[in-house]
Every structure is written in structure tokens, then in C-alpha cells.
Amino acid sequence: MFAVTAERIVSDDPLAGLGLGERPDPVPPEGWTTVTVRAASLNHHDVWTLRGVGISPDRLPIVLGCDAAGLDPDGNEVVVHAVISDPAWAGDETMDPGRSLLSERYDGTFAQRVAVPRRNLVPKPAALSFAEAACLPTAYLTAYRMLFDRSGLEPGATVLVQGAGGGVATALILLGRAAGYRVWATSRTEAKRDRAVRLGADQAFPPGARLPERVDAVMETVGEATWAHSLRALKPGGTVVICGATSGPMPQADLARVFFLQLSVVGSTMGTRDQLGRLLRFCEQTGVRPVIDRTMPLDQARDGLAAMINGDVFGKVVLTA
């Protein structure tokens, strides 16, 4: 089968280690099944893997990709939950200390077929296309958990989303708006700020801008480049929910502001299989559909990854198999 793989780790030139070509078909172990992939979507996770972040060289070559929608062996339309927990683990899969994401320990979804645990399959609603459904398991699920589980916010609250153009960030704007939050966003370019407002953000600002008032919560995926602003933007008692640090993981912590204003810093990672099911229903019920920047065949994955590395995307890049 055709697949897109990480062949080598080249931290400062991630595309140099990318492989495109034939791989053996997956052989599902006991309790697993094979999904015929119809669509998969890129995440920054794929870039991190090529840079060697979160994976060791002895796992290579490995098929990239966390997200997929496709057909199970009986022809049912399914979405794949990307969090692989121990078969003996019960409850919130993201809390299993031994969990991995597809493409970290097991081959991922940028292939014509992928093996996954049977319990990781969630029925795809007919209302969503394969391309739309393939955007949900990582970026949208992460945004769902950040907003509706980890933030503690009630509808009507004001949320700042840093770095509006990303896959998670556009999901935060769409889901937050649909749930009745007032969403403010920052972005480095005016074009992306305009698009954020058209998507449903109430207002959009350049990075670091003074806001009209302090916010109840900040949704962080950017890290070092926006962290100081995120802490400054919060009301006393406010919460910053962080799921990623694209620009670097070691900002000045500004501990005095954290304790003096009684701020909460809350980590968030992916979401449960049940939350993925609720996210699918949320999309069905509200009419929210993922923002897709572009769709391209699997064998053009290099171009999609290059756009993501250059920050030249607004929303998700989808690969069709």
C-alpha cells in the first residue's frame, strides 16, 4: 500500500526525513482491525515527529498521521480515535501513563490502510464528509476538551485564542462561538485576523495587543511567543488552558502574576473516545464544520507539510487516500 512515513529525524529540516512510497499492509493483532482510509488530516504532531520530538529513532520508519476517517472491514463509515491506551486501562484514555497516539508507537493514518484497536472506532455521522470527519480526532477533539472540560468556563464567558490560524486554534474559535462564548483571537497576519472574525471571533488582534478588557480564559497552543501576553490578558482568578507550544516550551513563568492574581495554568491533551463521540454529535447538532484550508491526494503530503511548517495555513490540511 502507499504510505507517508518518517524515515529519518532531521530536526532543523524536517522534510528531509520524509518518505513517500510502498509499505507492507498492516496486520492487525488480536483486538485490532483494519480501516481503509478515505481521508486523513495533518497536525503539527507530524512535523514534531519528523523533527524527532516525542519519538525516538528506533521507532523509525513509521507511518505518519494521527487522524483518519474511512471504512471498517464491514463497510461501516468510521472515525478513528487516535489515543491508544493499554487494553486493560479503564476510564479516561488520556490519563493512561502508557498511552500513545497513532504514529508514535504504531503506524499512523497517512496510508491506504491503518490498523487500530477495535474500541478506537467511532461511527461517522452521515452529515459529515470523510474529509470533515478526518479533521476531528486531534485538533477538534483537543479544542473540545480545552473549552468544555478543562477551562471551567460557562457560556457567555470571554476567551482569548492565541495564534488564530492553526488547526486547533480555528477549532477553538468555531466550537467556542457555537457554544456561546465571546471569542477574541490573535494572529500574526492581518489576513488571518480577518478570517478569524469571519469565522466567528468577536474581535481579532495582533500578537501582544492591549485588549479592551481582561478575559476569563486564554487558550494557548503557541507557547513562548505568546505566553507573557496570555498571563497579562487574564482577569484575577482566570485560567490559561495549554495544549501545545509551537514556538517553544520554556517561556518566563511570571510566577508572581500567577499567585498574586490567583491564576490557574491547566494542561490539556487530546480527549477521550466518549468526548470524540460527543464532538461528532456537537457538529451534527450545531452545523459546525471544520475549516479546511486545502485538500490534496496522499502522495502530495510533502506540500501540505511544507505549508504547515511555513505557517501558511488557515485551518486543516486534508489528505485523501
Ligand X SMILES: NC(=O)c1ccc[n+]([C@@H]2O[C@H](COP(=O)([O-])OP(=O)(O)OC[C@H]3O[C@@H](n4cnc5c(N)ncnc54)[C@H](OP(=O)(O)O)[C@@H]3O)[C@@H](O)[C@H]2O)c1
Q: Does 304 bind ligand X (CB under 6 A)?
A: no
Q: Which is nearer to ligand X, 301 or 308 (CB)?
A: 308
Q: Is 89 in the site for ligand X (CB under 6 A)?
A: no
The set of residues, in sequence order, having a beta carbon less than 8 Å from that of 23 and lying 6+ positions away, is 1, 2, 3, 5, 61, 63, 107, 111
Which residues, in sequence order, are CB contacts of 2 under 8 Å at separation 6+? 20, 21, 22, 23, 111, 112, 298, 299, 321
Single out the residue of 14, 26, 167, 176 in contact with ligand X (rule: CB under 6 A). 167
Nearer to ligand X, 43 or 230 (CB): 43
For ligand X, the binding residue among 81, 99, 177, 192 (CB under 6 A) is 192
Within 58-112, strands assigned E span 62-63, 67-71, 77-80, 83-84, 100-101
Q: Which amino acid is at 2?
A: F
Q: 65 vs 124, 217, 278, CA distance in Å?
A: 19, 30, 22
Of 129, 138, 158, 239, the one binding ligand X (CB under 6 A) is 138
Angle (deg, nearest 10), helices 273-286 and 167-178: 60
Is 188 an interacting residue with respect to ligand X (CB under 6 A)?
Answer: yes
- Rule CB under 6 A: is residue 222 a binding residue for ligand X? yes
CA distance 239 to 216: 7
Q: What are phi and psi of 262, to 5 degrees?
A: 55, 50
- Shortest Å, Cβ 151 to ligand X: 14
Number of residues forming the site for ligand X (CB under 6 A): 30
Q: Which stretch binds ligand X (CB under 6 A): 39-47, 69-77, 121-129, 172-180?
A: 39-47
DSSP letter (8 states) at residue 111: B
225: contact with ligand X by CB under 6 A: yes
Task: Specify the residue, 28 or 200, whose C-beta has the smaller distance to ligand X.
Answer: 200
CB count in 10 Å sphere of residue 92: 16
Task: Compare residues 23 and 305 and give the one whose CB is closer to ligand X.
Answer: 305
Stretch that binds ligand X, among 208-216, 237-245, 283-291, 295-303 (CB under 6 A): 237-245
CA distance 121 to 117: 8
What DSSP designation does 211 have?
Answer: P
Name which position in 308, 318, 319, 321 contacts ligand X (CB under 6 A): 308
Applying CB under 6 A, among 45, 51, 81, 177 the residue interacting with ligand X is: 45
Helix/strand/coil percent split, the chain, to 5: 30, 25, 40
- Per CB under 6 A, the segment of 13-21, 43-51, 175-183, 249-257 that binds ligand X is 43-51
- Grid cell 495555513 in the structure block, residue: 313
Q: Least separation, in Å, of the C-beta of 162 and ligand X?
A: 7
What is the contact surface with ligand X in residues (CB under 6 A)?
43-45, 48, 138-139, 142, 163-169, 187-188, 192, 221-222, 225, 243-247, 269-270, 308, 311, 313
